[in-house]
Structure 1
Amino acid sequence: MKLYDIIIIGGGPIGLNCALEAQKAGLSYLIIEKGTIVNSLYNYPLYMTFFSTADKLEIAEIPFITTAPKPGRRDALEYYQGITRQKSLNINLYEKVLKVSQDQNFLVETSKATYQAKKVIIATGFYDLPNLMNVKGEDLPKVNHYYSEPYPYAQQKVAVIGSSNSAIDATLETYRKGAEVTMIIRHSEISKSVKYWVKPDIENRIKEGSIAAYFNAEVIEITAHAIIFKDENQKIQTIENDFVLAMTGYLPDFEFLKNAGIELIGDCLNPLYNEQTMETNVPGLYLAGVVCGGKDTHLWFIENSRIHAEIIVKHILASSN
């Protein structure tokens, strides 16, 4: 069995950046990705526009060129998948990592094989597991935790749960394709993190009554033909409904991290790692990217976690001398 210097779990932008740093340092590496290249970006809404400008999404100082002021999903797919081809990155696709264990070296067991490495970097992001509401009816076919495009919801009664960027995009797009949209928001206002050029649009649609919005509301149950929730006055509301878009956020795979031996701390289940090296409490096991934030998935993103790759590879090189 080949012994790699590094195995990188996750082929998103930060995982690719780790591979580029390893390649530059002359280290042998393998990326293992459960889907396609930058799989999470592939599963983003089809017409999504990034908050960041293109230069903030660049990795390895490779220019991200786009004519739009802010790149969209397709631009990002072309950029990151193009880098993977151009740099001939060593990546296994559609191979899910099941377990990371340690003997003399690390053993990484996947759905297809077992690999051996001196060091492991987990760069799995957080888009895999929906943050469930745990209400009756959440598992009905009409409920979706992922949104791709508005066309299936034309002329339908749609409830959108949440008030972050994904919820606002879903609300506005489905509304403009003829859906009757109701927003159910557990906070008192639209999230402050919503893209600044979109926020006035949703606020004006709510103000004019084109889109119904219930603030300080809590979903109680979802049925085949309705959604039941408690409004800000604690009154039970039942609204006729065809589809529910539960844009309640996503979480890292905490069970996978725990099984790898990583200690999780506090209510946010923050993984324990050294901020100077990105090494976890398991020697030789590193974290990179948004997975570092635990439940606080807004703490890290591409723009501010690109540096993790350089930090990790620098520490690996220093510790091997």
Structure 2
Amino acid sequence: MIEKDIIIIGAGPIGIACALECKKRHWDYAVIEKGALTNSLFNYPRNMTFFSTSEKLEIDDIPFISTNPKPNRDEALEYYRRVATSNKLHINLYETVNAIKKDGERFSISTRKNNYVSKKVIICTGFYDIPKLLNIPGEELPKVTHYYKEAHNYALQNVVVIGASNSAVDAALEIWRKGGHVTMVVRGENIGERVKYWVRPDIVNRIEEGSIKAYFNSEVIKIDGNTIDIQTPDRLITLDNDYVVALTGYLPNFEILKDSGITLSEDEKQIPSYNPETMESNIKGLYLAGVICGGNETHKWFIENSRIHAKIIANHIANNSN
């Protein structure tokens, strides 16, 4: 049994920010992460550029120096890695949390490697690990992926990109520029308004000129080995297809919240219960930080507007310590 003052679950940017706050206050803490350091960022596309500028991605006033107007994935990985290593933060990687249970005034946290006991727990697990499934025939085929890394393997292939978010637009443009034959399938009537402002005109122009085919107000209803069926407003069409890149969004890990006793809103948003002034959930001593606070509204919280959660939580813990 390992005893700590605070257990932080998730080693993304917000988890790192929470660890820095603990270190400054000389609290005995540990960060537990089921994957790599900043696992969500690590799994982003290799050529991804952030919407935010570097200063908005900084944590604890540690400068983030970028050679670009907006930093890319590799620069962000380097920044957060250096913050974690130079500050000698206590982070346990590749350790999955199985359960969080409150026992009296303390919490028991079990993982696949260890058992912990702590006075406080902070959950900041993000949302990138569970894709929103299409729930259609053929989705389980090897040619279907819910993640996009790079374009090279799609060159000279017939590729359907499902979605109209930033990730879907970036993937469609990159694959087309690397020689893939790209078709986009979009449930809405247009490319999403939240798409990066310097990218949106590019995809709109490529669609208008016919370089990338797009079916709006449409849905994929079936995927076969060599074809794909799309229901358009006019008719059902079948296209030759080699790969499907379904970038339809991701979900937070609601199970770990519910199993720990945190209540979720009963509507489709499933927003967890917490006090925005303290970030404490309905379970005393159990805090939420980062994008997990938005439930299914994963567009609500980002690094730049949730990094303050770490200080809010630390101040509340400090002001209410016995």
Same fold by TM (over 0.5)?
A: yes
Q: Deviations over 1:61-81 (max 9, x none)?
A: 000001111100000000000
Partner of 1:121: 122
User: How big is the shift at 1:2?
Assistant: 3.7
Partner of 1:10: 10
SS at match of 1:271: coil
- Alpha-carbon distance in 1 for matches of 2:248, 2:227: 19
1:267-286 matches, within 5 Å, as: 267-286=268-287
Partner of 1:92: 92
Partner of 1:239: 239
Q: Deviations over 1:75-130 (max 9, x none)?
A: 00000000111000000011111110111310111110111110000000000100
Partner of 1:263: 263
1:33-44 matches, within 5 Å, as: 33-44=33-44
Work out whether residues 160 and 243 of structure 2, in 8 Å CA contact, stay in contact via their aligned partners in 1.
yes
Residue identity in the other structure for 1:172: L
Partner of 2:298: 297
Work out whether residues 127 and 251 of structure 2, in 8 Å CA contact, stay in contact via their aligned partners in 1.
yes
User: How big is the shift at 1:256?
Assistant: 1.5
Partner of 1:67: 67
SS at match of 1:19: helix
User: How big is the shift at 1:232?
Assistant: 2.1
Residue identity in the other structure for 1:253: N
Work out whether residues 185 and 219 of structure 2, in 8 Å CA contact, stay in contact via their aligned partners in 1.
yes
- Alpha-carbon distance in 2 for matches of 1:308, 1:79: 20
1:22-61 matches, within 5 Å, as: 22-61=22-61
Number of aligned pairs? Answer: 320
Partner of 1:82: 82
Partner of 1:152: 153
Work out whether residues 50 and 71 of structure 2, in 8 Å CA contact, stay in contact via their aligned partners in 1.
yes
User: How big is the shift at 1:3?
Assistant: 2.3
User: How big is the shift at 1:145?
Assistant: 0.2
- Alpha-carbon distance in 2 for matches of 1:175, 1:78: 29
Residue identity in the other structure for 2:157: Q
Identity between Structure 1 and Structure 2 (%) = 58
User: How big is the shift at 1:227?
Assistant: 1.1
Bigger Cα displacement from structure 2, 162-171 vs 102-111: 102-111
- Alpha-carbon distance in 2 for matches of 1:250, 1:76: 21
1:252 equivalenced with 2:277 (yes/no)? no
Q: Unpaired runs of 5+ in structure 1?
A: none
1:303-318 matches, within 5 Å, as: 303-318=304-319
- Alpha-carbon distance in 1 for matches of 2:173, 2:146: 17
Residue identity in the other structure for 1:90: H
- Alpha-carbon distance in 1 for matches of 2:135, 2:273: 27
- Alpha-carbon distance in 1 for matches of 2:133, 2:198: 29
Partner of 1:142: 143
Work out whether residues 2 and 115 of structure 2, in 8 Å CA contact, stay in contact via their aligned partners in 1.
no
Partner of 1:219: 220
Q: Unpaired runs of 5+ in structure 2?
A: none
Partner of 1:199: 200
Q: Deviations over 1:154-197 (max 9, x none)?
A: 10000000000000010000001111100000000100111111
Residue identity in the other structure for 2:74: R
SS at match of 2:293: helix
- Alpha-carbon distance in 2 for matches of 1:135, 1:301: 31
Work out whether residues 214 and 232 of structure 1, in 8 Å CA contact, stay in contact via their aligned partners in 2.
no
Work out whether residues 45 and 148 of structure 1, in 8 Å CA contact, stay in contact via their aligned partners in 2.
yes
Work out whether residues 227 and 240 of structure 1, in 8 Å CA contact, stay in contact via their aligned partners in 2.
yes
Work out whether residues 261 and 283 of structure 2, in 8 Å CA contact, stay in contact via their aligned partners in 1.
yes
- Alpha-carbon distance in 2 for matches of 1:133, 1:262: 27
TM-score by length of 1: 0.98
- Alpha-carbon distance in 2 for matches of 1:232, 1:109: 50
SS at match of 1:314: helix
- Alpha-carbon distance in 2 for matches of 1:232, 1:170: 25
4+ runs of 1 displaced by more than 3 Å?
Answer: none
SS at match of 2:190: coil
